[in-house]
Structure 1
């Protein structure tokens, strides 16, 4: 089963590479403001997870330089479990203006949030 998941994961990554979406165009000033706002977001994910790929593709389409954190690596995995509450990906860590942190799970919810905020 582990081999099948590994092979399917590589197929997903290959197809994602081949059919990569085009990034939204913005003028430099607007893109700099977006980049600054995106700096407060972190995406906890697995490379070959189809739902994580879906979120990353949406971020690329919106031209968001979203920081990704591999939830299989010890410090990020522990942070996701301890602060987010579950080892479930994809998960978007949102740092609010007042300093509070919100953890958003579910790929469709994350994509909806990104589209609402940055589209």
Structure 2
């Protein structure tokens, strides 16, 4: 089963590379405003997870600069996700606002948050 997952993961990464979305073009001040809004965000993810790929594609499509944290291969990020986020589940968006930290799971919820709270703001 692990071999099948590894092969499928590589196929997902290849297709994502080949059909990578182009980013949104904005004026420099608009992009700077978006970049400032994303400074407090980080995405805990696995490289070949299809739901993580879905979120990363939305990030790229919207030209967002969000720190990606590898929760599979980096023990520090994995421990932060488990301890602070409460579950070893990816993708997970860590949102820091006014000193409070919120952990948002589920790819559709993450994409909706990014498009409504960051891009549309």
The count of aligned residue pairs is 118
Query: Which consecutive aligned stretches of 4+ in structure 1 deviate over 6 angstroms post-superposition?
Result: none
For residue 29 of structure 1, report the CA deviation from its aligned partner. Answer: 0.8
Counterpart Cα distance in 2 of 1:55 and 1:49? 10
TM, length-normalised to structure 1:
0.97
Gaps of 5+ in 1: none
TM, length-normalised to structure 2:
0.95
Q: Partner of 2:88 in structure 1? A: 87
**1:55-104 superposed Cα distances (whole Å, 9 cap, x missing partner):** 000010000011100001100000000000000000000001x2100000
Aligned counterparts, 1:33-112, within 5 A = 33-72=33-72, 73-96=74-97, 98-112=98-112
Counterpart Cα distance in 1 of 2:7 and 2:96? 35
**1:17-49 superposed Cα distances (whole Å, 9 cap, x missing partner):** 000011111100110111111110000000000
* Structure 1 SS opposite 2:47: coil
Counterpart Cα distance in 2 of 1:111 and 1:66? 12
Q: RMSD of aligned C-alpha atoms?
A: 0.7
Gaps of 5+ in 2: none
* Structure 2 SS opposite 1:53: helix
